[in-house]
Structure 1
Amino acid sequence: MAKRTPPEILDKQTVAKSRLFAIEALDLRFSNGEERTYERMKPSGRNAVMMVPITAQGDILLVREYAAGTERYELGFPKGLIDPGETPEQAAVRELKEEIGQGAHKLTPLKEVILAPSYFSSKMTLFIAEDLYSEKLEGDEPEPLDVVRWPLAQAEELLTHLDFSEARSITALLLALRILK
């Protein structure tokens, strides 16, 4: 298959903005002359991390957190934005301390993923976090998160758990299980 030339960006405009998000319209011209307007979330320049924490006892640590999109509490892995000046590894350890009260001496990168590349540019680096130690940092959550211990030996059962439905958490679990088995 021949390599395609990306379309030419003719114009970029912010068409809607909220306190958290900006939507950008891109006027594009493709190599065959076709022109289209695509909409996307305006790139923020900030990426994120998600960790699969594994305890010395062989448990996975998850968090139960309110998700405004689904209007319910969801079970998933600790995650968060990378602060300016932080490496993904530094952000991973900080977020673990904020969300589960544990740091990690060992991080194994799994993959960098994009949620929906048609609409978002932000990347999330997935890690396995091991050799955990107790240390709590104040986070930005509006309420304390429930930390849920789940036996690693029963990790595949999470895939059918009704509250464990976030695609990035499922991806992180499946990639982690490939390495841990």
Structure 2
Amino acid sequence: MPTKPSILKRATVARSRLFRADEIHLRFSNGEERTYEKLCSGGPGAVLIVPLLDENTVLLVREYAAGIEDYHLALPKGAIDQGETLLAAANRELKEEVGYGARKLQFLKRINLSPAYMEHGINVVIAWELYPERLEGDEPEPIEVVPYPLSDLLQLIARADVCEGRSIAALFMVREWLAGNYQAPEPVLDLSLTPEVKYD
């Protein structure tokens, strides 16, 4: 395993409402020095939810993405609020964006989109045993919910409107989890056995 480089200097070089960019000056174990820039994350993190209506049906959402200036089809996601657990955040976002709650939730993996220059990661959570329940969210317009069969996953990722790498990776991980080929790192949260989390 290589030795991590030493951080000689760190400074914030840009800041907006959503992003902070830091410049980091590093010295590697062989004496080489380099300066990198990275986008830093803020807040407690984020969740990406894979809602399973049944073992072969996932619920996707179609919403506008400012980054590509177009609508795209992806998994529901959102920020974890201060003081909120990862799984409670997943269930809340599910209710806000999809109109379902989940009786069972499973953390699967934390993934990073571009670890070379982005600190931001997202926590993939599987949700199943769904029941109708809607919470008001902060979306600017109603979100279209699209059921899709996991057995057609290759056809799904070939579509032009399916372009978000995190959703594609999460769908493949969940397909392998359902087939018994991927072991989740934490136990299932079964809300049917415990009092359900209440939201204001």
Q: TM-score range by the shorter chain?
A: over 0.9
Q: What is aligned with 1:11?
A: 9
Q: Which amino acid aligns with 1:79?
A: K
Residue by residue over 1:67-125, the C-alpha shift from the partner in whole angstroms, topping out at 9 and shown as x without a partner, is 11111001000111111111211111010011011111111222210111111222211
Cα RMSD (Å):
1.5
Provide the secondary structure at the position in 2 that maps to 1:121: coil
Q: What TM-score does the superposition give when structure 2 sets the normalisation length?
A: 0.84
Provide the secondary structure at the position in 2 that maps to 1:55: strand
Q: Which amino acid aligns with 1:61?
A: L
Total equivalences in the alignment: 179
Paired-residue identity, %: 51
Pick one of 22, 25, 31 that aligns with 1:24: 22
Q: What is aligned with 2:93?
A: 95
Q: What is aligned with 1:149?
A: 147
Q: What is aligned with 1:39?
A: 37
Shift of 1:128: 1.8
Q: What are structure 1's unaligned runs of at least 5 residues?
A: none
Q: What is aligned with 2:186?
A: none
Q: What is aligned with 2:104?
A: 106
Provide the secondary structure at the position in 2 that maps to 1:54: strand
Shift of 1:36: 1.1
Q: What TM-score does the superposition give when structure 1 sets the normalisation length?
A: 0.92
Residue by residue over 1:12-55, the C-alpha shift from the partner in whole angstroms, topping out at 9 and shown as x without a partner, is 11111222111110111111111111000123243211111111
Q: Which amino acid aligns with 1:156?
A: L
Q: Which runs of 4+ in 1 moved over 3 A?
A: none
Q: What is aligned with 2:194?
A: none
